[in-house]
Structure 1
Amino acid sequence: MSVWDTLVGQRPAIRALDEAARGQGMSHAFLFTGPPGSGRSNAAVAFAAALQCEQAGCGTCHACRTVLAGSHADVSVIRTEKLSIGVDEVRELVRRSALAPVGRRWQVLIVEDADRLTEQACNALLKSIEEPSERTLWMLCAPTVEDVLPTIRSRCRLVTLATPSAADVADFLVATQGVPETLAAHAARASQGHIGRARALAVDEATRNRRRAIVSLPMRLTSLGACLGAATNMHDVAKEEAEAITSELDVKEKADLDASFGVVERGRRPREYSPALAALERGQKTRAKRRVLDVVDRGLMDLVSVYRDLILLATTGQAAAGLVNADMADDLERLAQVTTPESNLARIDAIFAAREQMLEFNVPPQLALESMMVALQLPQRP
């Protein structure tokens, strides 16, 4: 048992981080990059545990266990459920970075989704990374180096994580979740290397059913009406799933706010209550919007896997074992007969265009999905 056991298929990165934890190639700032689901934040937390451990990551000592549980006094993690990380959150981290660690080792500050830092937040962070305190260590996580400002990434040591293989993910699921090998293999393929997604697919039948509904859409896009209906359905399902995730948390946050201002006990609202409630509601609205986008984005990647499989079938004739969606091989064979690799590449481009419209240009998801579905429409048979 060690702190590195949660990292799947990342042997080169583990070797580099283990050497750094033992004093070889240490830096004051690290940038963890890798595709979604590769375990960027897990790697950062595991590295933080190794740095606090007397044995460089044994996984069983008090320091390792508290870091992995998120309760270590000298390890701070900033994560956001909003669309961006603002300057106020970063300033609080910068203030904390100037303090000496409570223990004898490092003060570690981990920023998940560093690509979501606003321009002001980046500027607030830059000076602290340029001139860190003696025992302060920064760890930033982002999909690619291009997602972080050059002035920041040039001051960080880069740690690149790879997409784990389907075999590695399947072995991990069998070992940690106890699922049958067949189900683990299916979840590993369908997740396309995303560990969290693979775990959800392996243990939750509802998640598998939602994915099955998404990947079956391309077969039904035979008319304009069908395309518009598919867009509406995909958007509605995303909203329902996002609301199921956030509604309980929203209620708890409102109850906590009421209790902190004494609204429940005293039956009246202090003057400061209304601004605090308005700020809470704004934050909840932003979080709900991000949740919807996250669910839609996951669906878009599932759609991409279908067209990737069609291109694979048409260009190589590879058997079902090489497909992401091997369980729907018969449907894919039929689709491959009425489409071409070129048209399916164009469909993948349309999916990524819709993704960019929603995530980068704030286009309403319903409109972006309608435009995309029309572009995915199957050719009319003569």
Structure 2
Amino acid sequence: MSAAPPVWDQVVGQDPTVAALTAAVADPAAMTHAWLLTGPPGSGRSVAARCFAAALQCPQGGCGECRECRTALDGTHADVEVVATPGLSIGVDHARELVHAGSVRPSVGRFRVIVIEDADRLTEQAANALLKVVEEPVSRTVWLLCAPSLDDVIVTIRSRSRHVRLRTPPVDAVADLLVRRDGIDPAMAAYAARAAQSHIGIAKRLATDAAARERRHAVVSLAAKIRGVGDAIDAASDLASIADEESGATTAERDAAERRRLLERMGADTAARTQPPHVRSALAALEREQKQRATRHARDIIDRSLVDLVSVYRDALVQRLGTPVPVVNVDVGPVVTQVAQAFTSEQLLHAIDAVGTARERIDRNVAPLLALEAMCLSLRLPR
């Protein structure tokens, strides 16, 4: 297999996908107007979509160095629009705006490319609004939809899109990327890639943020501490608190900056205690959007914490069965051993199911604390 163009260097462990997309760039007969990129979280769906957009705009098919490549990758190219919703869903009004944008001919590039990083968050009405442009494509407009799986996109869209699937990249490949791209120490990169279970974004965060490593350690250590009902309630509260604290720390500064920019744009006094009615209305709309974003971010943090927690029970099951499979939590070996000794193999499977059920309930908008309490009650160590 020939080497892929340099723009694909940051897409790791995805040779079949890169080969398919590179072939489409090189051969118009292999090109289509709508693509659906699926893969597990952290597999690099969005990165692959941006690299594809850059390769489509690049005169050399993806050199990685020219202006077209650089601007497409960082989201500033005039003919590449990247949609990454901060809220819980993408509504029909936003979808109609995208349909309009997709009907305009490219201004400076070879194609107009619209990347929807969270196509699984399209509401049913929004997906139906996009369906028309997918069914009746506009010349030189390319739609790149990203979602965890085919089932997350309505059947009428996925049946009219070309599907490419990304896999979970190997741990070694993720560690190598952190070293090569981000200058991370090899030992730290190896730990982060393994602990993140090959999720590239989380691996980078674990490698560069000591507080993130401490929070993860606190989460995985809970598996050995839940003995009684009181412990279960406390553990659920701890998981919810970790999410609230991290979400608050991440969004507070950004929310304040957005509020300040809005007031400046409207010519309002940023120091005034009260604002005119039209300014108050705009501020209320901004606060609703920020609240939705904070809710989604907190739920994403909880979900990631549960992925970390379930890895302990998975490792314990591997240990009990003596399966020759690499473990995730090398750094908390005593916790894994304690859980493996306390639970039978069947009980470990029930524990894994309990965490999966909690994730599904939270995804269906069950109050996170209630879902976490029910889960933690199922995770009590046997007496």
TM over 0.5: yes
1:250 is matched by which residue type in structure 2?
Answer: D
1:83-162 equivalences in 2 (<5 Å) = 83-162=88-167
> Given the alignment, which residue of 43, 46, 49 partners 2:51?
46
Supply the distance in 1 between the matched residues of 2:323 and 2:120 (Cα, whole angstroms).
Answer: 39
- How far the C-alpha of 1:334 sits from its partner, in A, is 2.5
* TM-score with structure 1 setting the length: 0.96
Specify the alignment match of 1:170 in structure 2. Answer: 175
> Given the alignment, which residue of 331, 342, 351 partners 1:338?
342
1:267-278 equivalences in 2 (<5 Å) = 269-278=275-284
- How far the C-alpha of 1:275 sits from its partner, in A, is 2.0
- How far the C-alpha of 1:181 sits from its partner, in A, is 2.0
Structure 1 pair 311–97 and aligned structure 2 pair: CA distance change class (3 A): same
Specify the alignment match of 2:83 in structure 1. Answer: 78
> Given the alignment, which residue of 6, 9, 21 partners 1:2?
6
- Does the CA-based 8 Å contact 1:214-1:302 persist in structure 2? yes
> Given the alignment, which residue of 372, 375, 383 partners 1:372?
375
1:256 maps onto 2:261 in alignment: yes
- How far the C-alpha of 1:265 sits from its partner, in A, is 7.5
- How far the C-alpha of 1:159 sits from its partner, in A, is 1.1
1:358 maps onto 2:362 in alignment: yes
Supply the distance in 1 between the matched residues of 2:167 and 2:199 (Cα, whole angstroms).
Answer: 11
Supply the distance in 2 between the matched residues of 1:158 and 1:265 (Cα, whole angstroms).
Answer: 48
SS where residue 32 of structure 1 aligns? strand
SS where residue 198 of structure 1 aligns? helix
Supply the distance in 2 between the matched residues of 1:26 and 1:342 (Cα, whole angstroms).
Answer: 49
> Given the alignment, which residue of 273, 287, 311 partners 1:305?
311
- How far the C-alpha of 1:266 sits from its partner, in A, is 11
1:313-328 equivalences in 2 (<5 Å) = 313-316=319-322, 318=324, 322-328=326-332
- Does the CA-based 8 Å contact 1:3-1:50 persist in structure 2? yes
- Which segments of 5 or more consecutive residues in structure 1 lack a partner in the other structure? none
1:295 is matched by which residue type in structure 2?
Answer: I
Specify the alignment match of 1:239 in structure 2. Answer: 244
1:49-64 equivalences in 2 (<5 Å) = 49-64=54-69
- Does the CA-based 8 Å contact 1:114-1:142 persist in structure 2? yes
1:160-239 equivalences in 2 (<5 Å) = 160-239=165-244
SS where residue 35 of structure 2 aligns? strand
| Deviates further, 224-233 or 16-25 | 16-25
- How far the C-alpha of 1:369 sits from its partner, in A, is 0.6
Specify the alignment match of 1:19 in structure 2. Answer: 23
2:25 is matched by which residue type in structure 1?
Answer: A
SS where residue 144 of structure 2 aligns? strand
- Which segments of 5 or more consecutive residues in structure 2 lack a partner in the other structure? none
Structure 1 pair 57–223 and aligned structure 2 pair: CA distance change class (3 A): same
2:350 is matched by which residue type in structure 1?
Answer: A
Specify the alignment match of 1:294 in structure 2. Answer: 300
Specify the alignment match of 1:281 in structure 2. Answer: 287
| Deviates further, 199-208 or 324-333 | 324-333
- How far the C-alpha of 1:185 sits from its partner, in A, is 1.3
| Deviates further, 298-307 or 22-31 | 22-31
- How far the C-alpha of 1:317 sits from its partner, in A, is 5.2
* Paired residues, number: 377
- Does the CA-based 8 Å contact 1:214-1:303 persist in structure 2? yes
Task: State the identity as a percent.
Answer: 50
- Does the CA-based 8 Å contact 1:261-1:269 persist in structure 2? no
Structure 1 pair 266–171 and aligned structure 2 pair: CA distance change class (3 A): closer
User: Per-residue CA shift, 1:182-225, capped at 9, x if unaligned?
Assistant: 22111111111100011111111111111011000010011111
User: Per-residue CA shift, 1:147-191, capped at 9, x if unaligned?
Assistant: 000100001011110100111111111212222222211111111
- Does the CA-based 8 Å contact 1:37-1:196 persist in structure 2? yes
SS where residue 30 of structure 2 aligns? coil
Supply the distance in 1 between the matched residues of 2:177 and 2:314 (Cα, whole angstroms).
Answer: 25
- Does the CA-based 8 Å contact 2:263-2:270 persist in structure 1? no
- How far the C-alpha of 1:348 sits from its partner, in A, is 1.0
Runs of 4+ in structure 1 displaced over 3 angstroms?
A: 265-271
- Does the CA-based 8 Å contact 1:358-1:368 persist in structure 2? yes
- Does the CA-based 8 Å contact 2:79-2:108 persist in structure 1? yes
- Does the CA-based 8 Å contact 2:172-2:193 persist in structure 1? yes
2:127 is matched by which residue type in structure 1?
Answer: C
SS where residue 322 of structure 1 aligns? coil
